[in-house]
Amino acid sequence: MVKKMINEPDSNIENELSEIPCVKKLKCKILQIEETKYRTTFTKKFENRKKYLPVPPGRIISTLPGTVLDVMVKNNETVKEGQPLMIYEAMKMKNRVIVPVNGKVKILNVKKGDVVCKGQLIAEIE
């Protein structure tokens, strides 16, 4: 079963729909469920839903804003899974960030004293 969503109006449905008065004033869209397309309206939440993007295991993204106290790795350094990468203070806690995978530090966006935001890319291990 292929499940997909299509937003382009189906001309066939469009023609049939014009006969129904209660829907005329609404901007209808097409929602496909299984192989069937339905005329309907969308909710704000549905329209604003985030598209799924897979996160590679080597990308380290900050989950809280905070201040960097120490960075224990250098660019291009070969690192091992479990090794400490940096310490930053957030929510009144000293948080240790750990290298998630074996590899080489490809990107390192932080240095001691930096303030990191939520969702910021801290480092990437290749």
Q: By the criterion CB under 8 A, which residues form the site for other proteins?
A: 1, 3-5, 13, 16-17, 20, 22-23, 26, 28, 31, 33-46, 49-50, 52, 64-65, 91, 117-118
Please write down the long-range contacts of 59-62, taking CB distance under 8 Å and 24 or more positions apart: 59/121, 59/124, 60/85, 60/97, 60/100, 60/121, 60/122, 60/123, 60/124, 60/125, 61/119, 61/120, 61/121, 61/122, 62/88, 62/90, 62/116, 62/117, 62/118, 62/119, 62/120, 62/122
Between 51 and 80, name the residue whose CB sits nearer to other proteins. 51
Shortest Å distance, C-beta 50 to other proteins: 7
Between 21 and 80, name the residue whose CB sits nearer to other proteins. 21
Between 16 and 77, name the residue whose CB sits nearer to other proteins. 16
